Structure 1
Amino acid sequence: KHVTGHPSLVGGSTGLVAGLVAITPGAGFVSIWSAILIGLMVSPICFYAISILKKRFAYDDALDAFGCHGVGGIFGGFATAIFTTPDLALDKANIGLIYGKAHLFIVTFLAIIFTAIWSALVTYGIIKVIAHYMPLRVSDRDEAIGLDDCEHKETAYPTFMGLDS
């Protein structure tokens, strides 16, 4: 609603997916009220990542996978480390920050940093190998025409004339 002035199905669906992504790490470890709070908090965070950060850093993410899944998953990890209840924790040493223990939060923070670095390095390596054998981007002309037509020689929606028409 913020961008177009009215609610959209894509926006609502993305918000729902962001909520599901964020609660996944803590699904068995946080209370129902914490789960609701996590879902309510993650949607504006992911919206910011999708609408502001993507433009600011100019990265190509047509499906908003990083803004929804990456940011939502990172937030969900931190939220789990904050809200894990003593009654649901697998061991009482690893309870949430709001219950007075910082250990789980510190371990989660380190795990997120390690995972981000590992993912970036492995992705960089894969990109370099692929780039050695084929181009990573299509031409501007092919992108303007549409990849369905240029790459596959068929169009999924033949009556669709593009967003500019």
Structure 2
Amino acid sequence: EARLAAVNADAGWVFKKGAIDFAGGTVVHINAGIAGLVGALIVGKRIGYGKDLMAPHSLTMSMIGASLLWVGWFGFNAGSNLEASGGAALAMTNSFVATAAAALSWMFAEWMLKGHPSVLGVISGAVAGLVAVTPAAGYAGPMGAIVLGLVVGVVCLFFVTTVKNALGYDDSLDVFGVHCIGGIIGAIGTGILVNPALGGTGIMDYTTGKIADYEFGVQLVSQTWGVCTTLVWSGVGSAILYKVVDVIVGLRINVESEREGLDLTEHTERAYNM
């Protein structure tokens, strides 16, 4: 009982609801994703969005950035174990295989839908895999992490193409379709893959000091508490903050400045001398 009291004394509300999240899928990805969507809706679309071609500025730089992200994510996920033990090795392994699986599933799904694979698709899938495995990294088994990656690659592709086009919001870097949706899939998936019968680690019961019996329905309800709390807290909070900033300094520049480009009008700098 002393151990339980010590755990609960500093525990957060969502933790007490029984939600598990190894490296921050809710507090980082769902949080950022819903805040980004709210921002995109409040700020509005870029001039020419949906009419002009807005291709990525540099696929080479995108590839470099995604590669750096994948490497850095090992520190993020494995480091969340807080000690160099088998738990860190598991988190590192899961972070690799889920990401690879998601990159492949996005690539093959895009290949089937559009008739060709793309570098942008592969790195988008990799980021979706990294996002989804973040809450699951220390809880799932490697095979579970691979399945999670295969699922999230296809679902996030659907959201950044079909759903975004249908709803028409301007999310330039797909933070909602990749991070928020990927984070939700990861959070819910963690509640499934933690099951020892599926190769997961199980969940520690601090009252007994042992791994608790896994209950599917109970754990999914707990995970849903975490997801919904984050969506509401971050979504509503962000909307208020955007409005406050809009009143104080404004969220958009004028049309002329936007057409000329923010590098020049806001920073008086030019990235390239052509």
Shorter-chain TM-score range: 0.7 to 0.9
Distance in 2 between residues matched to 1:129 and 1:106, nearest whole Å: 34
Name the aligned partner's letter for residue 161 of structure 2: S
Distance in 1 between residues matched to 2:153 and 2:178, nearest whole Å: 9
Do 1:81 and 1:105's aligned partners in 2 also have CA atoms closer than 8 Å?
yes
Residue matched to 1:69: 179
Corresponding position: 1:128 with 2:243: yes
Q: Deviations over 1:109-149 (max 9, x none)?
A: 12211110001111011111101112212233333332212
Residue matched to 2:154: 44
Q: Secondary structure at the match of 1:63?
A: coil
Do 1:93 and 1:103's aligned partners in 2 also have CA atoms closer than 8 Å?
no
Query: Once structures 1 and 2 are overlaid, which stretch shifts more, 85-94 or 40-49?
Result: 85-94
Distance in 1 between residues matched to 2:249 and 2:263, nearest whole Å: 19
Distance in 2 between residues matched to 1:52 and 1:153, nearest whole Å: 38
Distance in 2 between residues matched to 1:27 and 1:82, nearest whole Å: 13
Length-normalised TM-score, structure 1:
0.83
Unaligned runs of 5+ residues in structure 2 are: 1-109, 205-210
Name the aligned partner's letter for residue 133 of structure 1: I
The alpha carbon displacement at 1:22 in A equals: 0.4
Residue matched to 2:143: 33
Distance in 1 between residues matched to 2:226 and 2:213, nearest whole Å: 14
Equivalent residue for 2:202, pick from 76, 89, 102: 89
Name the aligned partner's letter for residue 28 of structure 1: G
Distance in 2 between residues matched to 1:62 and 1:7, nearest whole Å: 21
Number of aligned pairs? 155
Check 1:157–1:46 CA distance in 2 against 1; reply closer, same or farther (3 A cut): farther
Residue matched to 1:154: 269
Equivalent residue for 1:104, pick from 197, 206, 219: 219
Report sequence identity in percent: 35
Unaligned runs of 5+ residues in structure 1 are: 160-165
Check 1:58–1:134 CA distance in 2 against 1; reply closer, same or farther (3 A cut): farther
Equivalent residue for 1:116, pick from 231, 234, 246: 231
Q: Secondary structure at the match of 1:24?
A: helix
Check 1:39–1:4 CA distance in 2 against 1; reply closer, same or farther (3 A cut): same
Q: Secondary structure at the match of 1:102?
A: helix
Do 1:46 and 1:68's aligned partners in 2 also have CA atoms closer than 8 Å?
yes
* Structure with larger RCO (C-alpha < 8 A, sep 6+): 2
Do 2:191 and 2:216's aligned partners in 1 also have CA atoms closer than 8 Å?
no
Check 1:94–1:24 CA distance in 2 against 1; reply closer, same or farther (3 A cut): farther
Tell me the C-alpha RMSD between the 2 structures.
2.1
Distance in 2 between residues matched to 1:111 and 1:94, nearest whole Å: 21
Check 1:28–1:126 CA distance in 2 against 1; reply closer, same or farther (3 A cut): same
Residue matched to 1:162: none
Residue matched to 2:260: 145
Name the aligned partner's letter for residue 58 of structure 1: G
Equivalent residue for 1:57, pick from 167, 172, 179: 167
